[in-house]
Amino acid sequence: MRTTTNGIILALRPHGEHGAIVRMMTPEMGLQAGYVRGARGRNLRPVLLAGNQVVAELSSRTEAQLAQASVELSHSRAPLLQEPLAAAAIDWACALTATGLPEGQAYPRIFQALEGLLAAIEAAPSASGWGAAMVRYELLLLAELGFGLDIARCAVTGDADDLVAVSPRSGRAVSRAEAAPYAGKLLPMPRFILEGGMASWHDILEGMALTGHFLLRDVITDRAVTVAEARARLVDRMKRAAGN
């Protein structure tokens, strides 16, 4: 089996003396892993950075065998790694994708959304420019994995008007009137999640708190402590940038 595909580098794990197992997101085949010879050498080390886009050739004798991979850089995001907030965002988005998705299943919407998110981070390293996109990416990943939030209508009345919160247990939206008696027990839902558009720092942090609750409960389990830490670093840097 041999195939050539575009890919976004997500993670790298050293294997052997000089090689590494590289995990990448592809548009047609979803999450793919491959062994790259010389991955930790001078030439390939800057290529195999999380967030970089590559053209990869994957080959294996059987579907069950780990593929051998050769990669060629198509777009580098290495300069962003010098920006603490942008670097934390790339680290988290790639770690979430690599950890949350099963291998070998196509998720074209997630590939497109991740590509768009990384481009937004590159265009505006301040989270005020891409924070809303990060929240939407996390919501999409939850939905694609079967943990999507039911936020189109109020869980109590069935109405679609004035939705302001989400139940932390059911993931269903709650209207302002119905949420009032439960202040402090529900997760605030910023308006941009339903209406689109830009978001304030306050809205972005509320959105991150909302998606974070369900990601940490349903997707990022206890065995993925380092991944949860990556998200904590991002949120902490967002709060600092917001002046909180």
- How far is it, in rounded angstroms, from Cα 200 to Cα 151? 20
Single out the residue in 76, 92, 113 at which a domain terminates: 76
Binned at pLDDT 50, 70 and 90, residue 124 comes out as confident
- How far is it, in rounded angstroms, from Cα 152 to Cα 148? 11
Q: Are residues 182 and 91 part of one domain?
A: yes
Q: Are residues 61 and 83 part of one domain?
A: no
Q: Residue 38 maps to which CATH number?
A: 2.40.50.140
Q: Residue 137 maps to which CATH number?
A: 1.20.1440
Contacts 24+ apart (CB under 8 A), 212-218: 212/138, 213/168, 213/187, 214/142, 214/147, 214/149, 214/171, 215/96, 215/100, 215/138, 215/141, 215/142, 218/142, 218/145, 218/147
Single pTM value for the model: 0.94
Q: Work out how many domains the chain is built from and give that number.
A: 2
Please report which residue ranges of 51-198 form alpha helices under DSSP H.
84-100, 108-123, 127-144, 176-179, 192-195
pLDDT at 225 over 90: no
| Domain span at 9 | 2-76
Q: Are residues 118 and 24 part of one domain?
A: no
Single out the residue in 76, 96, 115 at which a domain terminates: 76
How high is the pLDDT of residue 190?
96
